[in-house]
Chains A and B, each alone.
Chain A
Amino acid sequence: MNKRLSKIFATTVFIFLSMAILSYPELPNKHVFAQGLSVQSGQKSEGRRLNPVQKILRQSSIIQRDLRQRIVQLTRELKKQPQPRHFIFIVFFSFLYGVIHSIGPGHAKLIILSYFLSVKAKKKDGILLGLITAFIHGLSGFLAAFMITMSFEHVFKRLYPDFNLETVMPVISGVLVIIIGGILLVQVYREFKNKDTTKHGCITDHELNMKNIFATASAIGLVPCAGIIILSSFFMAINRITLSIVSALSMTVGMACTIILMALLSIFFREKILRIYGSGKIQLISACLKATGAFFLVVLGALLLF
């Protein structure tokens, strides 16, 4: 019963989010996808039909801009006439901003997808990894904003002229992700080589433990979230430190929702694949998934370096 309820809940959330994005009002004649418009004649063509990816990117951008405008307006009102509802709405819009912001490319979703392809995990592992990753991702963004606002960055730059937090952290994260992918690849290779020594002569899956989850989340989440940097810097710059912390936290929870959804999708997909092709070849398929996921981790880690 619980399983059924959680499935219905997940589906409802997914449909709700998709509909919200796709039905959001479009800004007329302002976007990068804009239409062939002749200024001379004043005639306006209908423009190209957008494919689904373009439409999602477009709508996501419009919603994000709108949410940020609302946050700025509410902050202005809060400055003039402080009321609890302003605070509550800022936190709520920050949460929504986090959800929509992390739907776009980046934010470790692909890395997490690849990771859960390569390891046997329970749903709670996915939720935990998603939460910790989002938290570290948000925290590194918040710290970056703090450094920028408090001018620590300038001190670092004086000591190390080439220092740039937003450039350094992805490199560290990239190296760590490559290491994780590499370790998983070596594991597959070793298990494949020594398969007669393993259970039933087949490749086995490793259960995830807390240590693994935390180490992986730390490696993935190190890249600071630029969205949080801007949001937190904005509040810090107007001396609203509490609001800066609360809104960053709220945005992090929003991002966690999307990341967790991706993790659960990956776990679900892995289970389905194993069930579809399973029976006699479950171990071989599992190894293939593990190798594919690990390979993707190495590639994605390398992408972070450039």
Chain B
Amino acid sequence: MRKIQISKTRFKCIFVFSICVFSVVKVHAHPHVWIDPEIEFVFSQERLEQIRLRYIFDEMYSAMRFNQFDKNNNGALDPGEKELLGKEILKEIQEWKCFFHIKHDNQNSSLPTPRIADINMKEDERLSLTLELPNNIPVTADYQVIALSVYDENYYYEIMNPSEEGIKVFGRDYIDYTLSFKEDTQDAYYFDQFYPVYTVIKFKKHS
């Protein structure tokens, strides 16, 4: 039987080709829309009342949506137009559960139904959609941990990590808290290429 010998160059050819074939399988993917998120935790004396998520879309997507919904061409979004645009975007992103994932004390938490709080064109002509996630987690004397991550498992939307300035806590007087970011290496998505980054707030009643 003839022994088959493969030269290094040939082997490299086969290797590179195999990588090309097998590394990119998904048919619909790669980001088409970019989002910079902002997160607000709103506390009252008794509980974590709500989490506000602000999605700031990239310029092209914003301009496209703005022009589609500025029906009277007055260069601004009127309340009626805003409502229609908000509903349209919410309908789109609801397919992916609005991208947010919440853990309460390291357990996956049931996802609240988001409500549109605001939709606006910012000064830098980027569309900003604010969602309110109602919550009812009591503030106790013991520390509790809420971790929130926003990502699109399909990678159609690329959602950046919030910047430090993009995370705000309201009702600070009622609680003692710390904020941090944590990468969840146990729960990779998109062919195991990305790890979700959680914004973690650890809080208890102010002592």
Residues of A within 8 A of B (CB): 29-40, 48, 53-54, 57, 60-61, 64-65, 68-69, 71-73, 75, 101, 104-106, 109-110, 113-114, 148-149, 170, 223, 226-227, 230-231, 233-234, 237-238, 262, 265-266, 269, 272-273, 276-277, 300, 303-304
Contacts and interface: CB of A to CB of B under 8 A. Distances in A.
B31 interface: yes
A12 B44 CA distance: 62
A31 B180 contact: no
Contacts of A53: 23, 193
Which of B21, B27, B151, B197 neighbours the largest number of chain A CB atoms within 10 Å of its CB? B27
Nearest to B32: A226
B40 interface: no
A234 B34 contact: no
Interface in B4-51: 4, 6, 10, 13-14, 17, 20-21, 23-34, 36
Given A40-B180, A272-B13, A32 B161 contact: yes
A32 B153 CA distance: 11
B13 A233 contact: no
Contacts of B68: 148-149, 233, 237
B64 A106 contact: no
Given A101-B30, A106-B27, A304-B27, A234 B63 contact: yes
Nearest to A270: B17
A173 to B, nearest CB: 9
A30 B10 contact: no
Q: Interface of chain A, helix or strand or loop or mixed?
A: helix
Contact of B25 (A61, A110, A273): A110
Given A104-B24, A113-B20, A233-B68, A39 B60 contact: no
A105 B58 contact: no
A114 B34 CA distance: 31
Contacts of B61: 230
A273 B17 CA distance: 11
Interface residues of B, number: 49
Given A101-B30, A105-B26, A269 B17 contact: yes
Q: Interface of chain B, helix or strand or loop or mixed?
A: mixed
B161 A113 contact: no
Nearest to B7: A276
Nearest to A111: B27
A15 B207 CA distance: 61
Closest 4 CB pairs of A and B: A237-B67, A104-B30, A34-B161, A72-B59
Given A38-B180, A105-B24, A269-B14, 13 more contacts: A36-B183, A40-B179, A61-B30, A64-B31, A106-B30, A113-B21, A170-B27, A170-B28, A226-B156, A227-B32, A238-B63, A269-B17, A276-B10
B182 interface: yes
B30 A65 contact: no
B132 interface: no
Given A61-B158, A101-B30, A276-B6, A36 B182 contact: yes
A7 to B, nearest CB: 13
B159 interface: yes
A109 B24 contact: yes
B160 interface: yes
B32 A32 contact: no
A39 B58 contact: no
16 contacts: A32-B160, A32-B161, A34-B161, A37-B181, A75-B63, A105-B27, A106-B24, A109-B24, A113-B21, A265-B17, A266-B17, A272-B10, A276-B10, A277-B4, A303-B25, A303-B27
